[in-house]
Structure 1
């Protein structure tokens, strides 16, 4: 009885739509007319769809850049915030706060910061270094790296998870390593990284899944441009469903993305068998 509100909500708003999209992926459905079963027609049509390949390649390029960038920057930030300095709780709060701001607000903020004409970043480049700033979101070669840079305001959640894992590490290992003459850098790569490798795996998988769902920054700032170079996969799915009303084809796109993300997650778990260290237990 107590769990029934959650169960009902899941069926109505999550489980039901998932099953409906699976059924619609085998149908031609334009919202107005009843669905018409066409078998694998939607899936076979993907092979001749240039926008499908373009949006998938743009998303793959974004994932390849943003996941390592997020992992490295959030881990380094967690290491810094794990140091015992005055005002430590304040610094942690300040660095985490931007990650709870709406994605639309963050997109508008970065579109202002990186505006090629009056943006703060280009103004500073011109005043301090005498360099003419690039067109961050208007240059086809820089639009995706610029969106990767936007992740600096969204690494708070990943940073907190890394910070929690760092705080659970035993201090005696570092004391022993220091007595043996190991430098801070050597301790980091020989002790810290192996011990938090399960957390790195977890954050990497979450990062891959969330990166494949990139949409807001492209929709708000570039509308998929310039020249389709920020036309993410989910943006294409959104256009197909809600502008062209090809719900069946959009459902097929959604399930293809599900299969891709599932296979990448499975590959990550398989590779982790030799890269992730599970023997340490903080209770022992």
Structure 2
């Protein structure tokens, strides 16, 4: 004779009903979905109207032979792109864009890191120094360009006055194409230096102190700790700055417009697009093609950075 215990696991499993699965579109799920739409749709609509719609329209305009202000246009397909890449100005514009981007990005990041190291020191006056370093970044590019034009002016500028004081002649910063590009680069690096410094400073202050103390106890000097520990741990910050500063440099416009209105040696892609559309040419379709080329370059660089450069980033 066999008896079955009512408290056995099998009996308990049979007695307790299995939990019912919640449907995919239960009341709570629907409510969360509608809340998401209410919060996201306005932003998505604004992005679609003010970002993607102008981008699509610009791509369409790049296929037109259209003079700005004209009521008619002729569809030319890819002729504007062929004209740009086969023109004698294309190598100079692309080369100027490359030099400006590489020097401004590299200069801003390297100098910003050095300034951040100085601002990270625990001494009196660092709060004022941090504010002073970051202030140029939030200033208007038009105002900054006008002030620096007064400094670089070879006739009555502050720099020419200082050079005359030591018996030297001021270079023709504005008239010489090579010097005008160097002038704009110097001002751009000075203006954006504070941004890189503040971001690097935040990264330095978030470094684990126990790792630094352990390396110090092992006999590593300051330079060795910086190169072997700080730089690898700052790789996420460096990667972030590399993307943001490169995008910013490729789209730099205000300083170039104010300091070199005619683009004398400083015609980057974005400024060349401006000159073609709103300068003496009024070639709106050709200008749109140059803008699309710039967009393609930005997209390719960003994808390559996310695909390959991010592999070198240490997030832990």
How far off its partner does 1:189 sit? Answer: 0.8
Among 278, 291, 301, the alignment partner of 1:242 is 278
Q: Is the counterpart of residue 142 in structure 1 residue 151 in structure 2?
A: no
Which 10-residue stretch deviates more, 260-269 or 229-238?
260-269
Checking the alignment, whether the CA contact within 8 Å between 1:218 and 1:224 is kept in structure 2 is: no
Q: Give the 3-state SS of the residue equivalent to 2:154 in structure 1.
A: coil
Which aligned pairs between 1:104-119 and structure 2 lie closer than 5 A? Answer: 104-119=142-157
Which of 1 and 2 has higher RCO (CA within 8 Å, sep 6+)?
A: 1
Of 25, 43, 52, 2:81 maps to: 43
Could you state the TM-score of these two structures normalised by the residue count of structure 2? 0.80
Distance, in Å, in 2 between the alignment partners of 1:256 and 1:207 is 19
Look up the match of 1:218: 256
> Are residue 181 (structure 1) and residue 222 (structure 2) matched?
no
Query: Contact 1:224 / 1:232 at 8 angstroms: preserved in 2?
Result: no
1:13: how far off?
2.6
Separation in structure 1 between the aligned mates of residue 174 and residue 104 of structure 2, nearest angstrom: 16
For 2:116 and 2:245, the matched residues in 1 are separated by: 17
Residue segments in structure 2 that go unaligned for 5+ positions in a row = 1-37
Distance 1:159 1:169 in 2: 15
TM-score (norm 1): 0.89
Q: Quote how far apart the aligned CAs of 1:9 are.
A: 3.4
2:190 is the alignment partner of 1:166: no
Residues 183, 132 of structure 1: CA spacing in aligned structure 2 closer, same or farther, 3 A cutoff?
Answer: farther
**1 CA distance for matches of 2:224 and 2:144?**
37
Secondary structure of 1:249's aligned partner: helix
- Superposed CA RMSD in Å reads 2.1
Q: Does 1:64 align with 2:102?
A: yes
CA distance in 1, matches of 2:46, 2:73: 25
Contact 2:239 2:310 in 1 (8 A): no
Is 2:246 the partner of 1:208?
A: yes
Show CA shifts across 1:253-280 (max 9, x none): 11111111222223333442553223x2
Quote the Cα distance in structure 1 between the aligned partners of 2:98 and 2:185. Answer: 13
Structure 1: stretches of 5+ with no match in the other structure: none
Larger radius of gyration: 2
